[in-house]
Amino acid sequence: MISVFGSANMDLVAYVAQAPKPGETITGRAFRTIPGGKGANQAIAAARAGGRVAFLGAVGDDAFGPGLRAALAGAGVDTRGVRTVPGPSGVAHIVVQDGGDNSIIVVPGANGALTGPSAEDAETIGRSRALLLQLELPMEAVVAAACLAGAVTGAVTGTEVILTPAPAVPLPAELLDAVGVIVPNEHEAAVLTGRDDPRDALEALLDLVPEVVVTLGARGALYGSRDGVRLHEPAVPVRAVDTTAAGDTFAGALAVARTEGLGPDGALRFASAAAALSVRREGASTSMPHRPEIDRLVRDRT
Ligand code: ATP
């Protein structure tokens, strides 16, 4: 099983010709509400990719809470670890201009109420092969979850912590000590290490965690481990329609492949195939591929 301890946001997306200036009111072209948040996205991606997934997080007692739960449950994610807290759910208020430029306001809402895993969450994490974390929850909550999995690792179950360090902020040492694999994109890798070249950043990150995957968008992904393996997995060439959540699809699929016992190259190939399939379609969770499609693409490429 894979646990995801992370954020769930309702994305409120307005499509406009040009974003309004301060004080200006404009008429938009279209509006969509799309369940998102990096935690929920990774949970849905992992479930679609064939994983047994539990999402641990919080939604508000507003109108968006049930929609977020339903989106996770609809993808086959176990939502028993989702609590409802008083107040609004997390929302991302997104304005998409013609030509694709975005401006985004994230209001954490219920996500900000999480201080750490509950006793039930701890039990779920202890039974999981992998724990997926991102940084859209309060840092203390992320650290608590990572330390919990890290503590179990040597002792009983071996819960591998896979961290997507987004949004990129300095990482506390106790978090890094518990992480098995870190999966930044190249921007995050540069922020975390001060190295603009992703290969240099990867080497610097290997001083901090045992395994590193740096995603490079259409240029694929780099992998390195402390035992000397270095790989570059090119992206699958596709006509990109919308790259939103490509990174979350990649991370979710990577976790599935690793928990199924694939080695670094097989896991990268599987994750790259899943991410490429997601960029061919619009939206975040709406674009994530199901297992048979991923298997077919992996087969076609080998
Ligand atoms: P996002 O923030 O949009 O979720 P990200 O910046 O975290 O994405 P990227 O590095 O852009 O992550 O992409 C993750 C992976 O998705 C890449 O390593 C690659 O495998 C795949 N990918 C991204 N863009 C493309 C593309 N245009 N064509 C094919 N594969 C892609």
Domain boundaries, the chain: 2-9+37-89+110-301
Element (H, E) at 133: strand 130-133
Q: How far is CA 202 from CA 109, 246, 252, 270, in A?
A: 33, 20, 20, 21
pLDDT at site 151: 65
Instruction: Tell me the C-alpha distance between 268 and 302, whole Å.
Output: 13
- Cα separation, 57 vs 116, in Å, equals 10
Query: Are the C-beta atoms of residues 166 and 247 closer than 8 Å to each other?
Result: yes
Ligand 1 and 244: CB distance under 6 A: yes
Distances (CA, A) of 60 to 115, 128, 146, 192: 15, 26, 24, 32
**Cβ(147) to ligand 1 under 6 A?**
no
Please list, residue by residue across 276-295, b when 16 or more beta carbons sit within 10 angstroms of its beta carbon and e when fewer do. Answer: bbbbeeebbbbbbbebeebe
Task: Determine if ligand 1 sits within 6 Å of the CB of residue 272.
Answer: yes
Rg of the chain over CA atoms, in angstroms?
18
Tell me what pLDDT residue 153 has: 46
Cα separation, 105 vs 49, whole angstroms: 29
Nearest to 91 by CA among 55, 73, 67, 56: 67
pLDDT at position 155? 44
* Contact status, residue 11 vs residue 36, Cβ threshold 8 Å: yes
Q: Name the strand (E) or helix (H) holding 153.
A: helix 139-155
- The Å distance, Cα 119 to ligand 1 centre, comes to 35
**Cα 214 to middle of ligand 1, angstroms:** 10
Is 207 a residue of the active site?
no
Q: Mention every residue, 6+ apart, whose C-beta is less than 8 A from residue 169.
A: 135, 139
Q: Mean pLDDT per segment of 10 residues, for the chain of length 302 residues? A: 98 92 94 94 98 98 98 98 98 87 90 96 95 98 92 62 96 96 97 98 98 97 97 94 89 98 97 95 84 97 84
Which of 196, 200, 227, 248 is catalytic? The answer is 248
Question: 2-9+37-89+110-301 in CATH: which number?
Answer: 3.40.1190.20
What per-residue confidence (pLDDT) applies to 240? 85
